[in-house]
Structure 1
Amino acid sequence: MAPSKRITKYGPISKLSLFGNPTVFISGQAANKFVFTSTDKLSSQQNQSSRKILGEQNIFELSPEDHKRVRGAIVSFLKPESLKQYVTKRDEGVKKHLKMHWQGKQQVKVLPLTKTLTFDIICSLIFGLEQGTRKDSFVACFQEMIEGMCLKASAKVRNMVRGLIHEKRVELEQKGASPHQDLITCMLSNRNENNEEAVTEKEIVDNVIVVMVAGHETSAVLITFIMRLLANEPAVYVAVLQEQEEIAKSKPSGEFLNWEEIAKMKYTWRVAMETLRIHPPVFGGFPGRL
């Protein structure tokens, strides 16, 4: 039953069995406030099926202390000073994608194409992988894991991630890698007070998979709904187009975007935020047990 239909039939609070477990379903602003302000009362916990796919050490399963440590390692990579270096590179990748899959087409299927685009970006940001057979193999296993929630495919993805971790560790030890060149390298570079790796290999594997799953699907869905909004709202489309064209005209032809120009996309950002409000890619979660 869809969440909206369940709320209409049973109200914002109801009991059910979910994945074989007794569950309380809560919805609404008050419910969200309760969940997000009760971290001392609620322990984060996914259902057993998701836990097997994502791993026992994923950020949703960790204790408050471990959650803070692992989250800190992930967030350190997402700071503006780290992301600035990716803007030009990703702009180049997006332009190549549009030229290959969109330009000159009378009709396109937006969601599948945006999934391809977002996975290309994720492979670059997380693993430092660009186009090639290795990335294509990663895509195939990842898609199988997501679409079928397949343990066999999950095992293949984990083995690939472990291989990349070992390569990145060697690169760091040989001083040949920047700590912020990708997420795995950044997490490996985090050190505790004893100058030891602050995040274990198992935690890196499990949380890299979480980031892959979360970033891939949600970003693709958001872009798809933005495209739908622009198609259905001519005034919004014109305003977004005008903002983008003004930025394009202010720079030499052929030059890629930079961080400062992205910061100028005020109206485009508001459109994205409103789209997220109306069509959130994730409709719910599993906050855990009291």
Structure 2
Amino acid sequence: MNIFLATFLFLIPIFLLLTRGKRSSKRVPPGSLGIPFVGQSLAFLQAMRANTAEKWLEERIRKYGPISKLSLFGKPTVFIYGQAANKFVFTSDSSTIGYQQNHSFRMILGDRNLFDLSGEDHKRVRGVLVSFLKPESLKQYVGKMDGEVKQHLEMHWQGKQQVQVLPLMKTLTFNIICSLLFGVERGARRDKFVACFQEMIEGMWSVPINLPFTRYRRGLRASATVQNMVKDLICEKRVEVEQKGASPHQDLITCLLGMCKEDNEEAVTENEIVHNVMLVMVAGHDTSSVLMTFMIRFLANEPTVYAAVLQEQEEIAKTKPSGEFLTWEDIAKMKYTWRVAMETLRMVPPAFGNFRKALKDIEYGGYLIPKGWQILWTSPMTHMDNSIFPEPSKFDPSRFENQSSVPPYSFIAFGGGPRICPGYEFARLETLVTIHYLVTQFTWKLCADNSFSRDPTPIPTQGLPIKLVPRKLC
């Protein structure tokens, strides 16, 4: 019996080694997970704010190679980069890789937002959002967006000798979101949304330490307030649709409420509506405001590009009687202006990168990415690769004249593959309407240098102050 027991105990570690070997013959990528829980989060955030995150990652690549491990926002993470890495991330089966936002993002926006869903849940909720954000639906909102832009310029730009562009663009995009997507008009409710919104965003990319006076704690408090406000909106919209006969397509919330399955079950739950409304608020606010801000900066620095944009927009303006809104057909004519926007997104992507989650053990690049680990992808590592975009530091909208000439999965400002950003057309519409009125009504000069930081989106020096001159006075 003793011999049998001894033999059994001797075989246990051998059995464990053999079964572990069957799991994968690969090892995890090189690198260090750093200090428990904090890892490299503080160093990464510091590099983002100093606009040196690309160099920070390049140092990792020189030290560890094209794939390495680290710890960000409390999670073990694998950093991968390059065109092949982008394709791997954006085309992998939903049973292999899922969305994985950092803990702060998920806790503040809610775990039923589109970025944290996978499989059938992702497909279901994405389908509902796309039904509202697709071009066929957006056509009816061009006039309303046109009115919001005109009103914004009258209130904040006209009669001013100098303005700060980024804060004004954030005001504009937030007003457009409130009006077109949620049906919240100007007033006390919209002002309260604004007050909580910024604190919520600041907490999303913070180390998730829930202590008084931390960004994360303030973000959680602001999130709770915003969620309650959105729930109140949902109740009001439900009454408007069910009892007052309001159109189920008057805004995003009514559209979400109106989507039901044939078996009368809700296509989206109330929590999913709340969390995805908040996601759209964040995504639509920051990305478009950053894009338009940096377009204004590049147009000030690139007179030839500015002249071409102005010519295109003036030709459209000449066809519009005074006071008439732009139409979807007008937007379709703004081809060069959108190429300028694409080149702006290439050089200054609003989202530096994002996370995915390994839903099972994955072998990639000769290494094992363990189940549950985060996968970090980044935009600038291909956007500024001179083997993909020659002279990457040169602003050249002609790169996008022929979309087929841009290598697949190299330009990823809107993601790629089946999970490309559903708000792409909304951002395009918002940007082109705004730039149309800016270039036809004003000319401007920069009042600060071209530097910017990331927190986490790009923030130009002093919010990009410009000297403003009405074109009729030029």
What is the TM-score normalised by the length of structure 1? Answer: 0.96
d(CA) in 1 for partners of 2:230 and 2:114? 17
2:54 is the alignment partner of 1:4:
yes
Residue in 2 that maps onto 1:200: 269
How many residue pairs get matched? 290
C-alpha distance in 2, partners of 1:147/1:45? 19
Deviation at 1:177, TM superposition (A): 1.4
Determine the structure 2 residue equivalent to 1:256.
325
Cα distance between partner residues in 2 of 1:9 and 1:95: 46
Which of 248, 270, 288 aligns to 1:179? It is 248
SS at match of 1:287: strand
Could you say which residue in structure 1 is the equivalent of 2:114?
59
Paired position in structure 1 for 2:157: 102
- Residue 38 of structure 1 is matched in structure 2 by 92
The farther-off stretch of 219-228 and 104-113 is: 104-113
d(CA) in 1 for partners of 2:303 and 2:245? 50
Q: Where in structure 1 are there 5+ consecutive unaligned residues?
A: none
**1:175 CA displacement:** 4.8
Identical amino acids, percent of aligned pairs: 72
Q: Aligned partners of 1:190 and 1:264: how far apart in 2?
A: 33
* Structure whose CA Rg is larger: 2
Q: Which residue identity is paired with 2:156? A: H
2:353 aligns to what SS in structure 1?
Answer: coil
Q: Give the structure 2 partner of residue 168 of structure 1.
A: 237
Residue in structure 2 matched with residue 13 of structure 1 by the alignment: 67
Aligned partner of residue 14 in structure 1, secondary structure = strand
Match of 1:272 in 2: 341
| Higher relative helix content | 1
**2:241 alignment partner AA:** L
Q: Deviations over 1:243-285 (max 9, x none)?
A: 1111111121111111111111111111111111221111111
Moved over 2 A (4+): none
Residue matched to 1:78: 133
SS at match of 1:250: coil
Question: How far apart, in 2, do the equivalents of 1:80 and 1:175 lie?
Answer: 28
Structure 1 CA distance, aligned partners of 2:118 and 2:60?
33
Deviation at 1:23, TM superposition (A): 1.0
Counterpart of 1:249 in structure 2: which amino acid? K
Note if 1:188 corresponds to 2:243. no
Q: CA deviation at 1:202?
A: 0.3
SS at match of 2:221: helix
Q: Which residue of 2 aligns with 1:285?
A: 354
Residue identity opposite 1:17 in structure 2:
S
